Structure 1
Amino acid sequence: MNDLAADDDAEAAVPAAPSFREAVRLWAKIGLLSFGGPAGQIALMHKELVEERRWIGEQRFLHALNYCMLLPGPEAQQLAVYIGWLLHRTAGGLVAGILFVLPGALVMLGLSSFYMLYNDAPVIEALFFGIKAAVLAVVVEAVIRIGKRALKNRAMVAIAVAAFLAIYVVKLPFPLIILLAGLTGWVGNRLAPGLFSGSAHGKDTKQDSRGVVDLMFERGELGHTRPTKWHAPRTIAIWLPIWLGPVALIAAMGGPASVWTQLGSFFSVMAVVTFGGAYAVLAYVAQAAVSSFGWLAPGEMVDGLGLAETTPGPLILVLQFVGFVAAYRHAGALSPLLAGSLGSLLTLWVTFVPCFFWIFLGAPYIEQLRQNKALSAALGAITAAVVGVVMNLALWFALHVVFGTVRSVGVGMEIPVLASLDWRAALLSLAAMVAMLRLKVGMLPTLVASALAGLALQAL
């Protein structure tokens, strides 16, 4: 009787299911406040959805997060789509995902326009000199924040170190690293479950960790989470044409050499292979945009990341900056600003439409496997590998921000030329790290202070 009474009390403590209008208001709030990159955005959603409103339970939130970590693309935005879909089906997922991106995309469009019009001014160059140094501190903080959540024991630490060495020294591709990490977690759960089962997200053992979604599931109100035999074919038939139809049309109209075709095809491929989120793929995108296509000059990718860090929404909006700059510089008969805006829109489309596709296609199957400890262990190992991949990005930025020259050795591992050390960039980066990691200053104040400090150093 006491157990039944406790269950009744726990259920009564869970709030009522939110209306669609309430959900829209919350997703708009999250979209406007989601600064700080994926780590900060996930923390914001956890605070709003798990801690304050209890719309979703802790274990279900973590299970959804680990699945989104497995997917290519921005994991924070995909997590919003997943939870929106859980609460209000496809319409809820669409609203959550769009509102998560829209505010930041509008701000990024304005900042990209300003950058291209005025980036040659000495004052703007000095401001971005400071911002680049602060961006390095932001990425280092991301490594620490993600690491605290993912590296719970020596096995997870070993996976993170192995992932770092695989991408930095051996230059293994991102998808292969993710695949190997998942396989390691799957096998490790069988051989040493004590080391790998800590990431499993099985049935909630604490009643107070449950949320609205958990109670709705128990009452049989989440029928859309149970896939039918027609679910996968129907989803593929709807979303593949939505995603790739405009790309095929643009390629047919512009030809293979068109900047529009290059943008559509390149970022469509990125949407498939960008495992590990924005931090994991930026080094590769920067190399392709600078060396392969010639869209950006060296250093401009870091400028774009600095702009993306100042906007709400997914950090991968930096790709919108790349699309804008590429189209702006290859405008043809169009005005540069119009061409840049269209390039920005095309990049947004092929970057974010696949995110909805992955969630709507796979989430029902993942929901059915929520109790599967082996799968949860594999997803946890992938999250640990992401830490190593982000460590590689932090090192990449450090080399290109603090040193003027780097050289390749072996199979492509980069090392700095020590004589090219820029003491001003090193000083600003160190100060930004102390501010964020030691003094707990927020990201935006640190970026502003670093920009002003860069201006002062350039004046000296």
Structure 2
Amino acid sequence: MAGKTPLTSAERADCDETTSLAEASRAFARIACLSFGGPAGQIAVMHRILVEEKRWIGEDRFLHALNFCMLLPGPEAQQLATYCGWLLHRTLGGLVAGLLFVLPGFLAMMALSIVYGTYGDVAIVAALFLGLKAAVVAIVLQAVIRIGGRALKNGGMIGIAALAFVAIFAFDVPFPLIVAAAGLAGLIGQRMGHPAFATAGTFGHGHQAGEDGGAGQDQTGSDAHAMAARPSTRSAFLTAGVCLALWLLPTAAIFLLLGADDVFTQIAVFFSKMAVVTFGGAYAVLAYVAQEAVGTYGWMRPGEMMDGLGLAETTPGPLIMVTQFVGYLAAFREPGSFNPYLAGVLGACLTTWVTFAPCFLWIFAGAPFVERLRSNRALSAALSAITAAVVGVILNLAVWFALHVLFSRIAAVERFGLSLDVPDLSSLDPLALALVVVAAAAIFLLRLGMLATLALCAAGSAGAFALGL
């Protein structure tokens, strides 16, 4: 696809040439298996494959989808995958992309949860995945540079990105507040005719309206494939209604059959509530989840939440998969009439279901309206500002991830209104540093592909582990 000539809007209006669902499924499965490094790493991998390599979705449209997903509760990267799948193949494409994005992490976390519940020690996993995490640090850095270079087109946007980074990194400002402030700045700037927002007529930079007055041609000319997705409002609401029923009816049935005090009812109700308040990603609610799981419900012992987070960070998929670990231990330790292992598996499956079912609801209900508003001048200015803020947020995620890969001890320092994660320099992992340097050299100097870089670093890490380094 990379060599195709961009289509005119007239050609695109009649274009029925799309990538096949099977080919898209393979791409999303590949994204899922490589989605290490939390939201920053996952967004970087998705951008690399869908926008740059396959050219199925244009840069502006990808950022437009990312902005919407960052506004939603739940794991933004999984929702972005669902949105991208929806763009390519409507509801079926969204379901396939969203489910595939979760599947590798779900299977890995299930296996690790079983091992942890039985033996309580899975340190070997961290060693085996160190190389992959080191490579993701370089991949994330590349994504920040590329996305930032295309989204930050003027001083105003650069300023918004910088302020967003400082706000979340140094002052721990809640992510929804950053997004709201950026959107408001965009609206005000557009109304006042500020040069930074005056050119944001339709969403993105350099995006022109098509002849039909709707979505136009992105700079990359890659959205011919995404034109297949034009579902009706009625279809969107019908699909959203089905998702809502699939989410809430099982929870209601468990409550009626088992009662309010049963561990499965507690899991279903608690994590259903979590699914609608997890703005800003997994870290925004992990402390609360740990507090409730340990103090209120007694599902876990102190410190086990960090063990679960460590497991989630070494596996592909959203970091919110740590809730699956919590659900497994809760049911494993209170199995009732079930075999403990069967109860644990059921608890993990139930937790995953009520955590991710709402994600499909948000996308299928909201994406059609978000797509139709791409040509709205005021909204586009607001979303352009949010895009800039998101670059700052992704940079913060990248820095956070890099610190936790390179250092084993991070201290939270709170002084004079600042809230900073400061690494203990003596805890620097020389092997991790060496692998990050190798990955950066492979990507920026040798121009190796993502798979080659991942394989190189994984091999290096495995070799060091075998040698006892």
Same structural fold, with TM-score higher than 0.5 when normalized by the shorter chain: yes
Please show how residues 325-404 of structure 1 align to structure 2 within 5 Å.
325-389=329-393, 394-395=399-400, 398=403, 402-403=408-409
Distance apart, 1:109 and its partner CA: 1.5
- Report the alpha carbon displacement of residue 319 of structure 1 after superposing the two structures with TM: 3.3
Distance 2:66 2:244 in 1: 24
Task: Report the alpha carbon displacement of residue 189 of structure 1 after superposing the two structures with TM.
Answer: 3.1
Please list the CA deviations of residues 22-76 of structure 1 after superposition, one character each: whole Å capped at 9, or x if unmatched: 5445544554555565455445555555556554444434433332233233333
**Does structure 2 conserve the Cα–Cα contact (< 8 Å) formed by 1:327 and 1:343?**
yes
Closer/same/farther in 2, CA of residues 206 and 347 from structure 1, 3 Å limit = closer
CA distance in 1, matches of 2:455, 2:256: 43
Determine the structure 2 residue equivalent to 1:3. Answer: none
* CA displacement at 1:349 relative to structure 2: 0.9
Structure 1: state its 5+ residue gaps. 1-5, 217-221
CA deviation string 1:317-364 (max 9, x = no partner): 343334334433444554432232122212211222111111111111
Contact 1:327 1:340 in 2 (8 A): yes
Offset, 1:367: 1.7
CA offsets, 1:141-162, max 9 Å, x none?
Answer: 6366336414624434443444
Q: State how far apart, in whole Å, the 2-side matches of 1:239 and 1:422 are.
A: 48
* C-alpha RMSD over aligned residues: 4.4
CA–CA distance in 1 between the matches of 2:329 and 2:130? 18
1:209 to 192, 215, 221: 221
Gaps of 5+ in 2: 1-6, 210-215, 444-451
Which stretch of the first structure deviates more once superposed, 326-335 or 88-97? 326-335
Give TM-score, length-normalised by structure 1. Answer: 0.74
The alignment's TM-score, normalised by the length of structure 2, stands at: 0.73
Aligned twin of 2:447: none
2:426 pairs with 1:423:
yes
> 1:185/1:454 Cα in 2 relative to 1: closer, same or farther (>3 Å)?
farther
Letter in 2 for 1:354: P
Aligned to 2:448: none
Q: 1:453 to 1:195 in 2, by over 3 A?
A: farther
State the AA in 1 paired with 2:185. Answer: T
User: What letter matches 1:320 in structure 2?
Assistant: Q
How far, CA to CA, are the matches of 1:194 and 1:380 in structure 2?
Answer: 13
What does residue 290 of structure 1 align with? 290
Contact 2:131 2:459 (8 Å CA) reproduced: no
Write the distance in 1 (CA, Å) between the matches of 2:426 and 2:461: 15
Is residue 323–residue 351 contact of structure 2 (8 Å, CA) maintained in 1? yes
Amino acid at match of 2:321: L
Q: Which residue of 2 aligns with 1:177?
A: 178
For residues 145 and 314 of structure 1, the distance between their equivalents in structure 2, rounded to whole angstroms, comes to: 18
Aligned partners of 1:159 and 1:326: how far apart in 2? 43
* Structure with the higher helix share, 1 or 2: 1
1:434 pairs with one of 434, 437, 451: 437
Asked whether the 8 Å contact 1:127–1:454 carries over to 2, the reply is: no
- How far did 1:260 drift? 3.4
Amino acid at match of 2:94: G
Change (3 A) 1:38 1:406: closer
Could you tell me how far apart the structure 2 residues matched to 1:303 and 1:131 are?
Answer: 15
Change (3 A) 1:410 1:86: same
Residues 300 and 273 (structure 1), Cα distance of their counterparts in 2 relative to 1, 3 Å cut: same
Give the letter for the 1:324 counterpart: Y
- What is the deviation of 1:240? 2.3
Q: Is the Cα–Cα contact under 8 Å of residues 174 and 274 in structure 1 kept in the other structure?
A: no
Instruction: Report the CA distance shift for 1:9/1:318 in structure 2 as closer, same or farther (over 3 A).
Output: same
Q: Distance between the aligned counterparts of 1:13 and 1:235, measured in 2?
A: 26
**Greater displacement, 159-168 / 375-384:** 159-168
Q: In structure 2, what residue type is equivalent to 1:270?
A: M
| Distance (Å, rounded) in 1 between the aligned partners of 2:220 and 2:467 | 52
